[in-house]
Structure 1
Amino acid sequence: MTYHPKSEFMAVMMERGFLSDCTDYQGLDEALSKGVVPAYIGYDATAKSLHVGHLLNIMMLRWLQKSGHKPITLMGGGTTKVGDPSFRADERPLLTPAQIDENIEGMNKVFSRYLDYGSGATDAVMLNNAEWLDNLNYLEFLRDIGRHFSVNRMLSFESVKSRLDREQSLSFLEFNYMILQAYDFLELNRRYGCLLQMGGSDQWGNIVNGIDLTRRVLDNEIYGLTSPLLTTSDGKKMGKSQGGAIWLNAEMLSPYEFWQFWRNTTDADVGRFLKLYTELPVEECERLGALEGSQINEAKIVLANEVTTLLHGAEAAADAEKTAREVFEKGGVGDDLPTLSLDAAEVAEGISLAQLVVRSGLAKTGKDGKRLISEGGLKVNDETCTDAGRMFAAADFAEAIKLSAGKKRHALVKLG
């Protein structure tokens, strides 16, 4: 649809490509134009770090705050105990309360890089849905909340329907998830005046449920807005790489590796990613994205620097670029490369090249490592080596050894 927004936030969402769908474009736009709108995104604590797949929605919260509204980051201390079944083929493993708390602590490190938290009108707040979910009385909840849900309708939502169509089991525990998420929106509206829930387009059914429930119980008008589920131009899910998830916490993925992920963006995605993941003006994003040949590589460096600066700071971005230039242009050994440190006992009887490739993270398994080496895809100190059984002794580590898988993935191995 063609809609010309009045509010700055809606204009940014539409212009930069964040908007997939909205429950009421005009109603939300008018609410955003009238005053401060508190809006939330929920994050279940399924890992110790957020990953690149979360970054699109974190940027939405950042733009919300920059345009004069109040972001709420809702940690799923309660809902993580159930697990979101949306578009999954199987049930999520159940985590203990201690694991959930540990994961929340790890995830919280990222948000303060993007949002300003405090007690002001547009300061972000961090909440945990365990606050109202942990102490629910089951019978009261069924009578007061459960009666508003139609099982027929719940079964019709694509996230559930796709699981049932494939005859994959959906536990009663998971089936409750959408009721709990809907209840989150109700409680956030009741307690904090929250008017908007945002999320990926896979959350549409859960968001609509929350809006319907709040309307039935409180007779309040609230809104939902979803972002597209991003895939790269070659059809891959955004945020996945050969080495697995692109984590946002530095202890789980070095700033250099994070920078490198963005530097390796496919040419066709550069302009789109600049709009979504940086704050450069739209015209500049489009100009950079339209560059061709070797010039597009400079646009990719701009993308990598801008995104890394937001998350890890300008110094980390500059260090990553310096390391990359040393490695790629001068064939040198960059100080900031991912490093595997071995102790003397590990190399006392020698260690094979295949083991080093796996230990350094350049291959997931020994089998993958041996294939990489035998096919000529691995270099040791910039020289191709096809002998997976080549042994390295302590004396070989007088200086750090550089391993390179292809042109773009590198690691250092050293003693101590």
Structure 2
Amino acid sequence: MHFSTRVDISQPNPIAAAEAEYVHAGHAFRKLNDSNPTRHHLAPASLPDEYAAQPRGQRYAREALAQYLGRGSADSFYVLSSTSQAYSWLMKLLCDAGDAVLAPKPGYPLIESIARLECVDSIEYQLRYDGSWYIDVAQIEQLLQGPDGPRIRALIVINPNNPSGSYVKPEERERLVEMCKRHGIAIIADEVFYDYDLEPFDGNRRFAGESRVLTFALDGFSKMLAAPHAKVGWIEVSGPEADVREAQRRLDVIADDFLPMSELVAHAIPGMLDEAPAQTARVRERVRGNLATLHTMLREDELGVVDVLRAEGGWNVLLRVPAIFDENELVLHMLREYDTSGQPGYFFDMTSNGYLAISLLPEPDDFAANVNVVLRAVRDLMEA
């Protein structure tokens, strides 16, 4: 497995090495340069605990995650502020400037933006639609064997994808794992929408815990709790033992440089995990209900020219609208005439015109009103 040269894993100086030996042996010692105010009775009343920097995140928080998720151990997890930060850390870990990652299209443009900030190229592979979405695995193989192959360091999979809502199918997973093993690249699996199944096929499962190839599974409270303001995300590391050990040795350096999560947030993690099952069920009920409403409204629409692409999971879906008018024209018409905006398909790099993303999260009456706006706007343009 290739790792970047950006992470300094040089041997510690003699003093740092000796201190580490003392700690490992259970010996206590004083430090003349100890500038941690919480160890000198100067902590504020709102944060009375002594601060102990744990680069992977506070151990009690990681233990709570491992227990709640029922897999791995606290040592498998890195707790940080968001999956966006996780992408950044992993690109630092795996990629030198000019290296590349493979990312799905259609897909959320955030990955490409973060890659650019890390001086890394994002090379797209296609998800294709033929009644349901599937990964063009043959294209990925061609990319790995092509001229860009030597600089590709990771395959990013979104499981399920946003905005297509497609899970990675079992046969796709097997081929992707085998390819990544053969080419010596890691898998970064973004699984923040995993628990929101809509119309899935059988056999889907998480990449988290995958043991055959170095895998970094991303998740967080933003989607689990439907709480984007709860800035908690995590990386779960798995794979062959030697690869995991070396990856974590280097990832610990990155985590240490950026410092662990705030204690204020970390203390709240166990309580927020207690809320997770009920909150996830509440959101799942909403999105499934709105999807059923969408199917009914489209079926009953007299014009009958708008349909929805099958979404297996998540909380966004793609509407297919007549391609005889431009997506910008549709959204701008909705904005001018109905005070409603939206995201056309080209925002997500759809390969052709005629798509509109719509969220399944609004209150049922608001959601029905949103769908009506789309249907009315389409009718307006068709009759113009």
Normalising by structure 1, we get a TM-score of 0.23
Q: Kindly indicate whether structure 1 or structure 2 has the higher relative contact order, using CA contacts under 8 Å at least 6 residues apart.
A: 2
Normalising by structure 2, we get a TM-score of 0.24
